[in-house]
Amino acid sequence: MTGRRRYDDPCGIARALDAVGERWALLVVRELLFGPKRFAALSRGLPGMSQNVLSQRLRDLEEGGIVHRRTLGPPASTRVYELTPRGRELEPVLLALAEWGRKSPLGAHDTEMSVDAMMLALRTTFDPTAAHGLDVRVALRFDDDLFVAEIRSGHLHIARADEPVRADATFDTDVATLRSLVFGRSSLPANPPFLQGAPDLAARFLACFSGPQPAAPADTSH
């Protein structure tokens, strides 16, 4: 990380920010939580970030031992970026930040959430009480991105899938539509073209997530 400004503070928080405190760095980590990605896929998930800045952040994260590059074997034979074991240790940090951030007012945005950000939002807002008694496997397809979400015994597991999987219900949609169904509490229409499988299980799956939390009122007692 030669040339970067450092806090010169022995506190663990300061040392952590030396590694991932630069603008966009943690969002790059977010995009890699569910598995390796090519540079172009990372860029699509972070449309507000220039490719030059993305290249620099990837170099910074590589130097910090948080991200590394590898080449996939044939037939792909393409270079991808993925988290190192040290990088994966940031997962609970990002989940805690996402939970904390949900309490901030949600204003207007020019861009939609990335697919990986939406998957992280599902993990953050999962309500085990609402999932009581539900065992379901749901496939979530967004163009070239495919994820499998499983709810078993009150626990949610989400993973990226490389090929089609058997599921109780399959959503073939976009992030805006899924976000509206999950957090906007839009009703699942009858025979929606983006859903295959059991609509009753799909509806129960959508109801297992809580909406954005209102911001805490300001303390005016002083």
Q: What is the mean pLDDT of the chain?
A: 89
- What is the spatial order of strands in the sheet that 195-197 belongs to? 155-160, 145-152, 136-142, 169-172, 195-197
pLDDT band, residue 1 (cuts 50/70/90): very low
C-alpha 24/C-alpha 77 separation (Å) is 28
- pTM (predicted TM-score): 0.85
**Tens-place pLDDT, residues 118-138:** 999 999 999 999 999 999 999
pLDDT reported for residue 50: 96
pLDDT at 219 over 70: no
Residue with tokens 């490719």: 51
% of the chain surpassing 90 pLDDT: 72
**Average pLDDT, integer, range 62-85:** 88
pLDDT reported for residue 107: 67
Residue among 183, 127, 177 at smallest CA distance from 156: 127
C-alpha 78/C-alpha 70 separation (Å) is 8
Residue type, 12: G
**Tens-place pLDDT, residues 18-71:** 899 999 999 999 999 999 999 999 999 999 999 999 999 999 999 999 999 998
- Pair 77, 69: CB distance under 8 Å: no
What separation in angstroms does the CA of 213 have from each of 183, 194, 217?
11, 28, 12
pLDDT at 115 over 80: yes
**Tens-place pLDDT, residues 139-152:** 999 998 999 999 99
Secondary structure E strands in 61-152: 67-71, 79-83, 136-142, 145-152
